[in-house]
Amino acid sequence: MDSIYWLVALIILLLIEIFTLGLASIWFAGGAVISFIISLFSDNIILEILAFIVVSFVLLYFTRPIAVKYFNGKRVKTNYESLEGSTGKVLETIDNFNGTGVVQVNGLEWTARAYEDSAVIKEGKKVLIKKVSGVKLIVEEESEGV
């Protein structure tokens, strides 16, 4: 009878994986397969649960980094992700204290804040985008030598 439960668990875990495509439950599906096989030959629920836990976490620990590397390695950064590390031009002086600042990047205007709160970056300066926070760019003035 335990076999049916493990088979149902396997199907549910595979359905979750199919719908999410996030490599979230496939590791546990592997544990469910092993537990299902064990349940066919043994009636020891403790052994089945222990096998499920051990196999799931071994798969998760050893194979997930490899899978993530190969599945997400060629992912192209889009939208705001592609802005980090690029440069822009200050159109309106960036002053965190006064809440002002606009930067132009790739022909688009973005609200901007200085990476360091005390920094004031004047209009016309070139800035490096450190990160994107919501709809604001967090920038720092690019040094002259770069």
Dist. CA 84–CA 58, nearest whole Å: 35
50 and 30 in a common domain = yes
Q: How confident is the model at residue 4 (pLDDT cuts 50, 70, 90)?
A: very high
83 and 68 in a common domain = no
Dist. CA 57–CA 59, nearest whole Å: 5
The pLDDT of 47-75, averaged and rounded, is 83
Query: For residue 24, is it within any domain?
Result: yes
- Using DSSP's 3-state secondary structure scheme, residue 47 falls into helix
Element (H, E) at 29: helix 26-41
Between 45-72 and 26-41, two packed helices, what is the crossing angle to 10 degrees? 150
- 75-115 pLDDT, tens digit per residue, is 555 566 678 888 999 999 999 999 999 999 988 899 999 99
Q: What is the pTM of this model?
A: 0.50
Number of domains in the chain: 2
Query: For residue 105, is it within any domain?
Result: yes
pLDDT the model gives residue 82: 74
Average pLDDT over the chain, rounded to an integer: 86
CA distances from 45 to 5, 7, 88, 92, 122 (A): 11, 14, 62, 68, 69
Written as six digits, the tokens of 53 are: 């836990």
Dist. CA 130–CA 22, nearest whole Å: 27
53 and 105 in a common domain = no
pLDDT the model gives residue 79: 65
Q: With a cut of 80, say whether residue 15 has pLDDT above it.
A: yes
Query: For residue 146, is it within any domain?
Result: no
Domain that holds residue 46: 2-72
Query: For residue 61, is it within any domain?
Result: yes
- For the chain, first and last CA: distance in Å? 69
Where is the domain boundary, 53, 72, 91? Answer: 72
Q: With a cut of 60, say whether residue 13 has pLDDT above it.
A: yes
Q: How confident is the model at residue 23 (pLDDT cuts 50, 70, 90)?
A: confident
pLDDT the model gives residue 146: 47
Where is the domain boundary, 72, 99, 126? Answer: 72
8 and 65 in a common domain = yes
The pLDDT of 23-48, averaged and rounded, is 91
- Using DSSP's 3-state secondary structure scheme, residue 37 falls into helix
Q: With a cut of 80, say whether residue 72 has pLDDT above it.
A: no
